[in-house]
Amino acid sequence: MDPTLLSHTPDSILVQDNDDTDCTHTSSNLSNQPSKTTSSTHMHIPSLQRKLTLNKEHLILQEQDQLHDQCLQQCQYPDIFPSELILHIFKFLATPQDLRSAILVCKLWCSCGIDLLWSRPSLLSLPLAEKMCDTLALARSETLFPYSDYVRRLNFSFLAQDLTDDILVRFDRCKRLERLLLPATTKATEEGLKQILNVGKGLYTLDISEIPAVNDTVLEHVATHCPKLHTLYMTGCTSLTDESVVKLAANCPSLKR
């Protein structure tokens, strides 16, 4: 360019050139600065993804709960196995420990098995008998079940030499007793025997063999309080007379042996 032209160029053109230069630099600087809007958008993306993930997990849990409820409705025990069948199956369990484990499964199994578990309590030692007496003595409001109503059979054969009136009479709460075995209970007295026999209205089988305290009074008590008796063992009871035996036969028409 001709220098003479530059000398006659208006200052305004030079200033404009400077402004253009500044604008160019400013534009360049702006282009180099990060966009606040873009950065803000990127910051919100993880939060949105987190919300979507939580919503998805919530929906999955709801669906699982619905499936679980449907399974429970379709698998109700009464619809599959009636109580009578469950009780019949429980009778094949080998030990009381197995039956106890079974009744802890659910309320239905408990209601079916608790009666069976307590129908024939194990009285293999004096401490076990005392512990059972303590349980039977509890008030109805303190227990979940009326345990004394479940007891059907009592076998004191293993406690013959240790069983006293104090233990024996504490079982008089078992009002639905069907079978009572007291062979060779040498420490039992007449009063103790009479008190335990007061529960004999439903008694079918009674064993009072080899008990020194058995006499006419005890046998007459049996005749009066055990009308459904059909089996009576009284071997070795030498203090009996014909009168008490005749009364027994008259009051117990179902007696077979």
Domain co-membership, 204 together with 240: yes
Contact 166, 131 (CB under 8 A): no
More confident residue, 55 or 203: 203
- Residue 24: what pLDDT? 42
Domain co-membership, 160 together with 240: yes
At 17, the pLDDT band (50, 70, 90 cuts) reads very low
Distance of CA 216 to the CA centre of its chain: 48
pTM of the model: 0.65
- Is residue 233 predicted with pLDDT exceeding 90? yes
At 241, the pLDDT band (50, 70, 90 cuts) reads very high
Domain co-membership, 148 together with 225: yes
Contact 212, 238 (CB under 8 A): no
Domain co-membership, 159 together with 198: yes
Domain co-membership, 115 together with 138: no
Domain co-membership, 128 together with 78: no
Contact 129, 154 (CB under 8 A): no
Domain co-membership, 151 together with 190: yes
Domain co-membership, 158 together with 228: yes
Q: What is the pLDDT of residues 62-100, one digit of tens each?
A: 776 677 666 555 555 445 778 888 888 888 887 888 888
Q: The tokens 């939580």 sit on which residue?
A: 54
Query: Taking residues 237-246, what's their average pLDDT?
Result: 91
Domain co-membership, 113 together with 124: no
Centre a 10 Å sphere on the Cβ of residue 187 and count the other Cβ atoms it contains: 18
- Residue 79: what pLDDT? 53
Highest mean pLDDT: which of 44-58, 136-150, 159-173? 159-173
Structure tokens at 223: 């005749």
Domain co-membership, 115 together with 133: no
At 105, the pLDDT band (50, 70, 90 cuts) reads confident
Domain co-membership, 107 together with 140: no
In a domain, 24, yes or no: no
| Mean per-residue pLDDT of the chain | 78
In a domain, 80, yes or no: yes
Structure tokens at 183: 């062979």
C-alpha distances in Å from residue 149, one per residue of 50, 60, 83, 101 = 61, 49, 19, 21
C-alpha distances in Å from residue 131, one per residue of 26, 116, 134 = 97, 19, 5
Total number of domains in the chain: 2
In a domain, 99, yes or no: yes
Question: Domain containing 84: what range?
Answer: 73-119
Centre a 10 Å sphere on the Cβ of residue 123 and count the other Cβ atoms it contains: 19
